[in-house]
Amino acid sequence: MNRDRKIIAIDMDGVLADIEAQFMAWYKKEHGVWISREERLGVPESEGFPDKTSIKKYVYTPGFFRTIPVMPGAIEAVKALMEDYEVYIVSAATEFPQCLTEKMEWLNEYFPFISWKNIVLCGDKSIIDTDYLIDDHCKNLDFCKGKPIMFNSSHNINQLHHTRVMNWNDVLDLFEKERSSAV
């Protein structure tokens, strides 16, 4: 790694991977009902669907993490960030051991330009020390050592104490401003 460059840690689910879209698609397939993002605003992920057991079941189902659609704009944005920053993928994954290999395969499919050296599959993220953390959960952002950046998601809409980005274009704009202010 280039130690002169600032380091950005990027979460997977809800940031690189559109896990909400996957939850909605799997729920529709199982229950025949489409529960939109709007219906789950401000509701914790595990409680946003009428059958409260479904989400917990999906995250333990082989194939769930491997087939999550990539977040729009994520691939191009990460490539652009890597021109000026050291990028690490930091994903909470050890809770669901079956997802470890799936997450590596998924990254290899969509982000093959990220080295295995820059991938961290962990539990809690409190011992990760980077200059920035882009994540969709306060449980990670509240304890990070760098600058926390909240990636917008239906479940986090009411948690307003971190800088919020609505999408990957917003992320690029934010880092464009960071670079200008650092000059």
Using CB under 8 A, list all residues that contact a second copy. Answer: 1, 3, 7, 9, 88, 93-95, 97-98, 100-101, 104-105, 115-124, 126-130, 145
CB closer to a second copy out of 30 and 95: 95
For the CB of residue 28, give the shortest distance to a second copy in the complex, in Å: 30
For the CB of residue 121, give the shortest distance to a second copy in the complex, in Å: 5
Quick one: which of 34, 13, 169, 16 has its CA closest to 96?
13
For the CB of residue 90, give the shortest distance to a second copy in the complex, in Å: 8
Determine whether 135 is an active site residue: no
Pairing mode, strands 147-151 and 119-122? unpaired
Residue with the two structure tokens 């890597």: 82
For the CB of residue 55, give the shortest distance to a second copy in the complex, in Å: 18
Determine whether 11 is an active site residue: yes
Active-site residue, from 4, 13, 84, 131: 13
State how far the Cα of 74 lies from the Cα of 129, in Å rounded to an integer: 22
CB closer to a second copy out of 39 and 124: 124
CB closer to a second copy out of 8 and 24: 8
CA distances from 158 to 13, 23, 36, 155, 161 (A): 19, 20, 17, 8, 9
- Which residues neighbour 41 within 8 Å (Cβ) at sequence distance 6 or greater? 154, 157
CB closer to a second copy out of 24 and 87: 87
| Cβ atoms 78, 39 nearer than 8 A | no
Catalytic residue IDs: 11, 13
